Structure 1
Amino acid sequence: MAQSGVGQELSTQRVFADLHIHIGRTETGRPVKVTGARDLTFANIVAEASERKGLDMIGIIDAASPAVQQDIAAMLDKGAVAELDGGGLQYGGTTILLGCELEVRPEGFGPAHVLCYVPSFDAMQEFTAFLSGYMRNTNLSTQRFYGTIDELFRRVEELNGVIVPAHVFTPFKSVYGSCADRMADVFPLKRVSAVELGLSADSEMADRVRELHRYTFLTNSDAHSLSKIGREYNELQVNDVSFSGFTEALQRKGGAAVTANFGLHPRLGKYHRTMCKQCESRLPYGESVCSRCGSRSIIKGVRDRIGEIETASGEHPPHRPPYIYQIPLEFIPKVGPSTLQKLLDHFGTEMNVLHRADEEELAAVVGQPLARCIVQARDYQMAIEDGGGGVYGKVNM
């Protein structure tokens, strides 16, 4: 794992990053992401990400909430986190990027979510002051922004921040899932810094949309609970483990880049297949009427949606890094809470279990049969039951 001191200039190195993590509650119990877990506080997130997950960089995307900012300020005052010269905060060996998820509705189109990241705590407070003129409740997560797309981009750029469309194919509140057939119709393409794929798509699926070829892809967890942190993540090569290093990686400048995307197989995503809302049957590709019950009430899956809008073969542009299918430990049968804790007690972090421990080392801790399962999951040697309609897929081993 990458280690850095505050303000320290680093040589090029590779780090693991999950850049879409929600705040469920503040330290006083005030709701932020209403659907998020109550223990998903800023302090708990940074400890979980650093000490259990082993992530080098995380993005907190509810940092525009004034109530969350009070929690961040308290940790800054205590010295539990510190500001980095290159932007971002530091907790132990983990860099924290401050972000905000917003709902936008371009005129004449449907809703979509975007992630806005800015370099410093002061910049985020300035962004909140700006948002207060365009939002009804800045304390809650993922609220609607009532200004124009140009106003939003202009203010983020003035703060030296970046905007990333979120989970771009999911059927609810995403660019392609609920907003438009072409991103160019709703966003200024040259001002978009990267694209987040979401849990139900991978690079091959996304590269079937030609206008996305120019972008760096991000795979993030969109965590609504502590256990979901790191279920998808990125490997970055950076010159500095800071906000500036992150933006260089998105732009593929100075030798920096996203060098791998680690994500669920799209079939495990909860919106991969089209599903009937009436009887919960998964519909064959291209069907819009349930053959089982006759209902037209369906939730269109990412697979079918990409089939409708694809403009390319799926061949990758030269800059595209590998997409590595990763099964989170909690998806693996028989890896319950006690087994997971045993693994963490021995190997330190989930990243160590997933990337560094070999089968013999795993077997010494949890026994040969389970060690074999973990290695098979790492090598993706298992059967998958497709997800859809809001229900995750399943791993069968």
Structure 2
Amino acid sequence: MNTYYADLHIHIGRTKSGQAVKITGAKSLTLATILETANYRKGLDIIGIIDSHSPEVIEEMEEMINSGSLTELNGGGLQYRDLVLIPGSEIEIYDENCKGPIHVLAYFPDLDAMKQFSSWMEQHLKNIRLSSQRIYVNAVILQQKVKELRGLFIPAHVFTPFKSLFGKGVSKSLQEVFDPDLIDGIELGLSSDTYMAEGMKELNPYVFLTNSDAHSLGKIAREYQALELAEPSFEEFSLALKEQEGRRVATNYGLNPLLGKYHETVCSKCHEKVTAHKESCSCGGTVFIKGVASRIEELKSYFPNPVPRKRPPYIHQVPLEFIPGLGPKLMEKLLDAFGTEMGILHRAGAADLKNVVPEKIAEYIDLARKGQLLIEAGGGGRYGRVRNLNQQRE
């Protein structure tokens, strides 16, 4: 088996013609720039582009196949230089069984299956060109359609307070909405990690995934996973989700949940953090945005898990963009020395870093990739932040 780094939740902001796909995504986030950034700067091996259902995105992929810059693989997926693209789609479900909207991810082995899925979805969406649109069909019917087209079905960022399975979508159980046998994995999201979620017995059957949900080029690979596969392809990824034939998710790399925007409960009026069971905030506000930490504790009380399944390590890796003092010029020096961000994070030794950037920055990077930086928690839509080195040593 070989190790491959994969980020499977990347949005497209605009098409080549400038048409919006993910409206909140950066205009610079196009198919071409994603492929170049993921391959040359980030050093990823596999990416999932989850707006591949958009007709103009499909046309761009077809153009690249015809020109020879993308190649369809026998095992599924599209090859771009050293990178494999798995076409996917993010969809919003809100049927009669949902308490609130739920985002899910569907991945397909090839562009033909993606085109069939897009044509089917167009009958149930208001605007097939845009990302994360609400589908007017029962959730289980959607699951069945994905499976009919040989796809993979994964609930997205499942604990986020808005538009997620456990954030708003269900009261207690995923079975309120989904057929559990038609789920292939669980994407944790930025405000949670394995150690928080493994206490839920209902999630024992599923592999956990950590992806960036990138809305800009810089956010690609802020979360990712190391996969052990024979080769990078859709079929191999599918085996890893089932943990079959030696394929597996070997390591999850993600933000310390404290850095996530929704980790702690906050007052919706002033965004001050509030403790559980408090009825009002000091500002007088009485409406709170429940944090992921509180919601997971609530869910664990419904289905306790005294013997969690064995899971791969989750490394609390702080993205390089969070490192204090690491500006564009120093970042370029690191990239010149080590090739890609994966090279900086996984292959450069501590002494090597000090030969390229100031000792203080090198120390930050080394602590960041070991998950040893102290973090001030975020909440209510605001990211947490890294404390400076003087605070780390106090």
Same fold (TM over 0.5): yes
Which residue in the other structure is 2:22 paired with? 33
* 1:310 aligned counterpart, secondary structure: helix
* 2:153 aligned counterpart, secondary structure: strand
1:251 aligned to which of 218, 223, 242: 242
The letter for the 2-side match of 1:323 is Y
2:295 aligned to which of 305, 319, 329: 305
How far residue 79 of structure 1 moved from its aligned partner, in angstroms, is 1.0
Mapping of residues 263-278 of structure 1, within 5 Å: 263-278=254-269
1:396 aligns to 2:390 (yes or no): no
Distance 1:89 1:314 in 2: 39
Stretch of structure 1 that moved more, 296-305 or 87-96: 296-305
Distance 1:42 1:151 in 2: 30
Distance 1:314 1:58 in 2: 32
Distance 1:209 1:52 in 2: 37
* 2:135 aligned counterpart, secondary structure: coil
The letter for the 1-side match of 2:221 is G
Which residue in the other structure is 2:152 paired with? 162
How far residue 317 of structure 1 moved from its aligned partner, in angstroms, is 3.3
In the superposition, relative to structure 1, how do residues 29 and 168 fare at CA in structure 2: closer, same or farther (>3 Å)?
same
In the superposition, relative to structure 1, how do residues 153 and 380 fare at CA in structure 2: closer, same or farther (>3 Å)?
closer
The answer to whether the 8 Å contact 1:262/1:323 transfers is yes
The letter for the 2-side match of 1:124 is M
Counting aligned pairs with the same residue, the percent is 48
Which residue in the other structure is 1:222 paired with? 213
Distance 1:187 1:47 in 2: 36
In the superposition, relative to structure 1, how do residues 19 and 315 fare at CA in structure 2: closer, same or farther (>3 Å)?
farther
Give structure 1 stretches of 5+ with no counterpart: 1-11
Distance 1:367 1:157 in 2: 52
Which residue in the other structure is 1:138 paired with? 128
How far residue 208 of structure 1 moved from its aligned partner, in angstroms, is 2.0
Deviations 1:226-254 (A, max 9, x none): 00000000111112310000100001111
1:213 aligned to which of 204, 208, 217: 204
The letter for the 2-side match of 1:374 is I
* 1:259 aligned counterpart, secondary structure: strand
Distance 2:178 2:97 in 1: 13
How far residue 354 of structure 1 moved from its aligned partner, in angstroms, is 0.7
The answer to whether the 8 Å contact 2:139/2:178 transfers is yes
How far residue 205 of structure 1 moved from its aligned partner, in angstroms, is 1.1
The letter for the 1-side match of 2:33 is N
How far residue 274 of structure 1 moved from its aligned partner, in angstroms, is 0.9
The letter for the 2-side match of 1:152 is L
Distance 1:244 1:95 in 2: 12
Q: CA RMSD in A?
A: 1.3
How many residues were matched structurally?
385
How far residue 376 of structure 1 moved from its aligned partner, in angstroms, is 1.7
* 1:69 aligned counterpart, secondary structure: helix
How far residue 266 of structure 1 moved from its aligned partner, in angstroms, is 0.4
Distance 2:9 2:271 in 1: 29
How far residue 319 of structure 1 moved from its aligned partner, in angstroms, is 3.6
Mapping of residues 291-330 of structure 1, within 5 Å: 292-311=282-301, 317-330=308-321
Which residue in the other structure is 2:391 paired with? none
1:175 aligned to which of 165, 178, 187: 165
1:92 aligns to 2:81 (yes or no): yes
* 1:307 aligned counterpart, secondary structure: helix
How far residue 313 of structure 1 moved from its aligned partner, in angstroms, is 5.7
* 2:275 aligned counterpart, secondary structure: coil
Distance 1:348 1:356 in 2: 10
2:184 aligned to which of 188, 193, 210: 193
Give structure 2 stretches of 5+ with no counterpart: 389-394
* 2:144 aligned counterpart, secondary structure: helix
In the superposition, relative to structure 1, how do residues 316 and 32 fare at CA in structure 2: closer, same or farther (>3 Å)?
farther
